[in-house]
Amino acid sequence: MAEKKDTQVKKVAMICAKGTIEDVYATLVMANGAVMEGMEAKVFFTFFGLDAITKKYMNKLHTGTVGNPAMRMPGGLPFPTILGAIPGVEAGVSAMMRSQMEKLDIPPVDEFLDMITAGGGEIYACKLAVDMFKLKKEDLSDHVIDIITIGDFYAMAGGEGSQVIFT
């Protein structure tokens, strides 16, 4: 029988394409977790994921209260979609989620980017999406190293023990 041989993950290249709290934080926690473990991490933000690195929106991300079957009331009762459609509900629920995370010592997005880059993680923005949303470099967080194509990103994603993760 062949001997089982595990290769350690040494590098993660992550692509974040969505802008809800949960999608963005999944990316940030995984990227930060990687640098904490001494791994290399590079993150590429594209489409709605760009909100996470856009100065104006990064600390005001929302979660979807409509069409989310896992959304529950405090206490566990289902959260009716029709409630989620009422103006202000999405903002309230999102603010509550952000405060719950703060209690677990999970920082706001701008501070999370500070942490990831302090550990050597690298942040990139997708050129196609930046053009599409008519954004400029100065609209984006100062931690964004460059606005690049997906081809450029793949070019730096290689190497032994590297993984590409899409969130």
Piece of 67-75, 87-95, 106-114, 141-149 that binds other proteins (CB under 8 A): 106-114
Counting contacts by CB under 8 A, is residue 26 touching other proteins?
Answer: no
Contact 144, 125 (CB under 8 A): yes
Counting contacts by CB under 8 A, is residue 139 touching other proteins?
Answer: no
Distance separating alpha carbons of residues 161 and 167, to the nearest angstrom: 19
- Residue 157 DSSP label: S
Counting contacts by CB under 8 A, is residue 120 touching other proteins?
Answer: yes
Counting contacts by CB under 8 A, is residue 151 touching other proteins?
Answer: no
Counting contacts by CB under 8 A, is residue 22 touching other proteins?
Answer: no
Residues facing residue 147 across a β-bridge: 125
Pick one of 17, 26, 29, 71: the residue that binds other proteins (CB under 8 A).
Answer: 29
Pick one of 10, 22, 60, 107: the residue that binds other proteins (CB under 8 A).
Answer: 107
Among 125, 160, 133, smallest CA distance to 39 is for 160
Q: Which is nearer to other proteins, 105 or 160 (CB)?
A: 105
Contact 63, 94 (CB under 8 A): yes
Contact 42, 14 (CB under 8 A): yes
Counting contacts by CB under 8 A, is residue 102 touching other proteins?
Answer: no
Counting contacts by CB under 8 A, is residue 118 touching other proteins?
Answer: yes
- Report, in Å, the least distance between residue 28 CB and other proteins: 9
Counting contacts by CB under 8 A, is residue 97 touching other proteins?
Answer: no
Piece of 54-62, 65-73, 107-115, 123-131 that binds other proteins (CB under 8 A): 107-115
Give the list of residues 6+ apart from residue 24 with CB closer than 8 angstroms, or none. 16, 18, 49, 51, 52, 61, 109
DSSP β-ladder status, 40-45 and 11-16: parallel
Interface with other proteins (CB under 8 A) = 29, 32-33, 35-38, 104-107, 111, 114-115, 118-120
